[in-house]
Chain A
């Protein structure tokens, strides 16, 4: 069964350092999402891509976060510089459809700890 791949699974970094997460969506899925999940809470959308284009990044803290999906396949989310409050799980999800469906497939996430 096809799955969304993410790496690394765990990342520990010091504040003010740069950190990057990678996501490979299910093959053929045009829509890709990055979410942030704080322990005990539900995921919150950071950015949504349709192919290589950003559809919604209204909740992305653009002063320190950036996301790209250059070839419309895999994607990278970067934080620079990391802050203590960025400690969370970063989830990637993909969907075969753009609109008309809540069908999203989530990856296992990257757990970030900022010290």
Chain B
């Protein structure tokens, strides 16, 4: 069936480096994509979203890129900090249903 998944389960980076977390999706009908951050012992926290009619969106230290040709989504975190250590989930949704379908998480570990 249609699904959203992540390429790498764990990503280790040094503090100050840029991080890139990737996500592949297979549902071509998805028109909305969201990134969530989940810290240990907490629920997911919305980071940034992007609609399918866009290919890039920037937030504070984060950028999401969408490549519809290859059905690929990425989250870039600039100047990664120890506080960015968490599990990151991509999720997708379709117009008319505002319940996100989550993919597998990627654990980001930031070394001081």
Contacts and interface: CB of A to CB of B under 8 A. Distances in A.
Contacts of A108: 41-43
Interface SS majority for chain B: strand
A25 B96 CA distance: 23
Interface in A1-60: 4, 33, 40-45, 48, 56
B91 A107 contact: no
B99 A45 contact: yes
Contacts of B101: 42
B32 to A, nearest CB: 7
Interface residues of B, number: 22
B43, B104, B105, most chain A CB atoms within 10 A: B43
Interface string B96-112: 10111111110000000
A99 B97 CA distance: 8
Contacts of B45: 106
A102 B105 contact: no
B23 to A, nearest CB: 11
B26 to A, nearest CB: 15
Contacts of A48: 99
A40 B105 contact: yes
Contact of A102 (B41, B89, B100, B103): B100
Interface in A95-115: 99-109
Contact of B98 (A4, A42, A102): A102
B44 A102 contact: no
Query: Among A40, A41, A104, A107, which residue has the most Cβ atoms of chain B within 10 A?
Result: A104
B89 A42 contact: yes
A104 B49 CA distance: 12
A99 B101 CA distance: 16
Interface string B20-44: 0000000000001010000001111
Interface of B: 9, 32, 34, 41-46, 49, 89, 91, 93, 96, 98-105
